[in-house]
Amino acid sequence: MSIEQLVTGAARTAAPPLAFPAGFRWGAATAAYQIEGAATEDGRGPSIWDTFARRPGRVHEGHTGDVACDHYRRYREDVALLAELGMGTYRFSIAWPRVKPGGTGPVNVRGLDFYDRLVDELLAAGVEPMVTLYHWDLPQALEDGGRGGWADRDTAAHFAEYAAVTAARLGDRVGTWTTLNEPWCAAFLGYASGDHAPGRTDVRTAFRAAHHLMLGHGLAGQALRAAGVRELSLTLNLARVSSADPADPHDVAAARRIDGVLNRIFLDPALRGEYPADMLALFDRFGAADVIADGDLPVIATPIDLLGINYYQPVLVRAQIGAPALPAYPGSEGLVFAPQPGPVTGMGWHVDPTGLTDLLLRLSRDYPGVPLMVTENGAAYPDEPAGDRVADPDRIAYLDGHLRAVHEALSAGADVRGYLAWSFLDNFEWAFGYDKRFGLVYIDYETQRRIPKDSALWYRNVTRTNTL
Ligand code: FCB
């Protein structure tokens, strides 16, 4: 495909164009620690990711977010690029350790000043800002001194204080506020498998963290409501979880267990005000049931206006006698994730857009009345620039397939309000460091040069025409 074909859409073949609803929100997402750099600038305190990345063997080749995409200094150039690429909405996260370097206590005004400038720059460029308050960069101070990060109930209250001061500063210009990004990763990769910061491997602590994250979501939600924000949201990483043999009751039960500890453990408290019985049994089994205090669930169920969905791949589960529990999925002994035939991304993630259609329809059915938005979807591939161009046909195919999947869900009645690609820029991909490139825009980390990939030009054509 030539660039000309991409830009004009001339490469589109026989199929008639798919139109998206008027007002459908298009854009891309990033997260603070993954792009900002400037780790010690203007009074920012350390986060658990600064610490974790420095622990030998935790992050690919010892990479850290110290410099990342240098977005903290280059945000003007980046905002101009967002606008040029036709992004109507930009989802970014605020670094709690910039706003409150100690996690609680004094506000660092210079930290808030940065987001103030960023928001003004976005609005001036005609790009809608969408804020996430927690994308995993917990202030290290809340982890230290035996406090224990999200294992400590007080962290939820501190999160709400931080939400309140941030909304007081930006709420006049930012309409959409997301409390948490992917509490499953924060709790179970952070505290059970130890793959993410703070790198602990204690299942009881992971359940405590999961509940306190959700309590933090509810308390912050109340604070944001009190501040008068227009649209309150929560973003979860969700997946279609199927059984390898739908006729085998063991496989079906195994899939149900993974669906519980990945999906329902967060969906049910947030949207129904209760933990499902099988999840309560897991809290109990791992000695964490006492973490759920009277009155917590109504707080967690503070109504949201939008459910953000981060979708990358579906999960296929098979029962297998004697299989040990998967570290990030407590209670998963006696099952395995079955291989799924077909293409994979550079992460080894299975490409299957039907998983997204099914997920959106399942959410519409099981949790009716909540508008949905795909807040992350995308793929890493080993991109190589050739001069000024980065040809990434696999990413275009991935995005095209998943946008068709969203359209199919819309046609079947799902209330999907928007789609945000992950990610605007190549960035620090957590434990994989800079080794994995998810961006629509290529970053040359030596020079910090930005090169829009072919996928960015292709996507611009979609967002500008509202059709695929
Ligand atoms: C999600 C994260 C995001 C990015 C993508 C690939 O789990 O929210 O920061 O790492 O995966």
Q: How confident is the model over 157-195, as pLDDT tens digits?
A: 999 999 999 999 999 999 999 999 999 999 999 999 999
pLDDT > 70: percent of the chain: 97
- Between the CA of 436 and the centroid of ligand 1 the distance, in Å, is 11
| Segment 403-418 mean pLDDT | 98
Q: Evaluate whether 227 touches 164 at the Cβ level (below 8 Å).
A: yes
Place of tokens 């290529």: 442
- Between the CA of 28 and the centroid of ligand 1 the distance, in Å, is 12
Look up 376 and say whether it is catalytic. yes
Give the residue whose CA is nearest to atom 9 of ligand 1.
31
431 lines ligand 1 (CB under 6 A): no
Q: Residue 2: is its pLDDT beyond 70?
A: no
Task: Give dist(CA 455, CA 465) in Å, integer.
Answer: 16
Look up 182 and say whether it is catalytic. yes
Task: Give dist(CA 150, CA 319) in Å, integer.
Answer: 32
| Segment 51-77 mean pLDDT | 98
Q: pLDDT class for 6, splitting at 50, 70, 90?
A: low
pLDDT, position 7: 52
pLDDT, position 16: 78
pLDDT, position 3: 59
78 lines ligand 1 (CB under 6 A): no
| Segment 381-399 mean pLDDT | 98
| Segment 84-98 mean pLDDT | 99
CA distances from 213 to 136, 203, 292, 322 (A): 11, 15, 12, 32
For 103-131, what is each residue's pLDDT tens digit?
Answer: 999 999 999 999 999 999 999 999 999 99
137 lines ligand 1 (CB under 6 A): no
3-class secondary-structure state, position 79: helix
User: Which residue in the list 36, 121, 143, 182 is annotated as catalytic?
Assistant: 182
275 lines ligand 1 (CB under 6 A): no
Ligand 1 pocket: which of 189, 430, 437, 438 to mutate (most atoms <8 Å of CB)? 430
Cα of first residue to Cα of last residue in the chain, in angstroms, is 16
pLDDT, position 5: 61
CATH placement of domain 3-459: 3.20.20.80
49 lines ligand 1 (CB under 6 A): no
Task: Give dist(CA 100, CA 105) in Å, integer.
Answer: 7
- Between the CA of 10 and the centroid of ligand 1 the distance, in Å, is 32
Residue of 136, 311, 303, 134 whose CA lies nearest to 232 = 303
If you average pLDDT over every residue of the chain, what do you get?
Answer: 97
| Segment 20-49 mean pLDDT | 98
pLDDT, position 439: 99
50: burial class by Cβ within 10 Å (0-12, 13-18, 19+)? Answer: buried
- Sign of dihedral through CA atoms 241, 246, 250, 253? positive
The string over 417-453, giving b where at least 16 C-beta atoms fall within 10 Å of a residue's C-beta and e elsewhere, is: bbbbbbbbbbbbbbbbbbebbbbbbbbeeeebebbbb
pLDDT, position 1: 57
Task: Give dist(CA 27, CA 422) in Å, integer.
Answer: 9
pLDDT, position 14: 60
Whole-model pTM: value is 0.97
Bond into 242 cis (ω within 30): no
Task: Give dist(CA 9, CA 457) in Å, integer.
Answer: 10
Give the residue whose CA is nearest to atom 10 of ligand 1.
429
- Between the CA of 458 and the centroid of ligand 1 the distance, in Å, is 22
Q: Beta strand 372-376 with 416-422: parallel, antiparallel or unpaired?
A: parallel
Task: Give dist(CA 245, CA 154) in Å, integer.
Answer: 44
Task: Give dist(CA 166, CA 438) in Å, integer.
Answer: 28
Task: Give dist(CA 366, CA 374) in Å, integer.
Answer: 17
457 lines ligand 1 (CB under 6 A): no
For 278-295, what is each residue's pLDDT tens digit?
Answer: 999 999 999 999 999 999
3-class secondary-structure state, position 366: helix
CA 272 to centroid of chain Cα atoms: 22
31 lines ligand 1 (CB under 6 A): yes
